[in-house]
Amino acid sequence: MGLREFISYETVADLHLRPALTAVPEVSLRQAIELMRDNKLGCIFVVDRDGKPLGKFNERQVLRVTRDKVSLDEPVGNHTVPLPKSGIVRLDTPVEEALFGMRENRMRFMCVVDHDGKVIALTGQRGLMEYVVDHFPRQIKVQMMSTKLHLNSREGA
Amino acid sequence: MARKRNPVTPGEFEDPLNNYDPPMYQDELERLLCETEVKSMRITPVHCVSKEMTVSAVLDLMWAKETSCVVVTDEANKPLGVFSSKDVLYKIAGNDALYSQPIEAVMSPNPRTVYATDCPAKALNLMAIGGFRHIPVVDVDGKVVGMLAPRRTTEFLEAHMH
């Protein structure tokens, strides 16, 4: 059975998930950036008091506030971008549907929510790549990471 | 002492390639990962900057070109480093003194690269296992000809998954 069949019935729960970072809109940009640095993650989901997603603040927004020299004491809620409907998935969403949402919205991260709509995890392009690696370990894991050519000069006469 | 060889009886020659098993792929994507080349993926446009360019000018360029990574190259167009939105998050945000610095001071030096003729499986290995998000693609002389980014890789995977 090929990957094509797998993605039609496997779900987001089978992708590599990472714990999501969340913050309420009143948190300052400085605190949000510190949180991203400490957790080595390029995205924070801004949530309401019930833990439901309102928007995201990612590296693109960090680039914008840095370029525009915005004060880092401003609340993060002023600098989030809204999450499209297909950018929010549940654990039982088929991988195929999640892929479609990621492509349509050109998103790097997808927000995974539980049945009450609360943010529980995050996945995205990295999660998809790791999913493909898990299916073809014989082809991908054996590759050398070094970039040096084995032959520096022509072999033979 | 000369090694004694058994005389070959005519008609009994066995082709050694009879034992060769060509690789069997269970999936078209699996075959493409091994048998195509990185240059068949979308590797352009790539934005190269000189090492003297200021951080502030590079941030403007990244915003204007809607890119999350630039390659810092020397005069011969060989990669010296990469500067991505990850570097903005970790080094630049909240550190105004760095704006006027040359990009060389804050870039990630000596980037991992792939050759344009490497197979996509190698690029995927570097990205998914090595954790490198942006990988400059170089030709045989080591000159930058493209850039692999997560979106470009997932585009390739998705195009052949359906």
In order of A3, A14, A91, A123, B35, the CA distances from A95 in angstroms are 11, 8, 10, 11, 26
Residue B29: the pLDDT is 87
Residue A57's Cβ-count burial label (10 Å; 0-12, 13-18, 19+) is buried
Task: Work out the pLDDT band at B4, boundaries 50, 70, 90.
Answer: confident
Q: What is the pLDDT of residues B100-143, one digit of tens each?
A: 999 999 999 999 999 999 999 999 999 988 889 999 999 999 99
Q: Is A90 on the interface with B (CB under 8 A)?
A: no
- Strand, helix or coil for residue A132: helix
Q: Distance between CA atoms of B10 and B12, rounded to whole angstroms?
A: 6
For A:40-59, CB contacts with B below 8 A are 42, 59
- Give B23-59 pLDDT, tens digit per residue: 888 888 889 999 999 999 999 899 999 999 999 999 9
Give the per-residue pLDDT at A49: 92
Instruction: Tally C-beta pairs within 8 A across A and B.
Output: 126
> pTM here?
0.85
Q: Percent of chain B at pLDDT above 70?
A: 97
Chain B partners of A65 at a C-beta cutoff of 8 Å? Answer: 93
Contact between chains at A42 and B26 (C-beta distance less than 8 A): no
pLDDT per residue as tens digits for the range A123-155: 988 888 888 888 888 888 888 776 555 556 666
Q: Please report the pLDDT score of residue A100 as a whole number.
A: 84
* A147–chain B nearest CA distance, Å: 6
Contact yes or no for A131/A19 (Cβ under 8 A) = no
Cis bond upstream, residue B109 (ω within 30): no
* Positions of chain A with pLDDT lower than 50, given as ranges: none
Q: CA–CA distance from A65 to each of A40, A44, B89, B96, B133 (Å)? A: 19, 15, 11, 12, 22
Best residue in B122, B141, B148, B152 for a mutation probing chain A (most A CBs within 10 Å): B122
The minimum CA-CA distance between B89 and chain A, rounded to whole Å, is 6
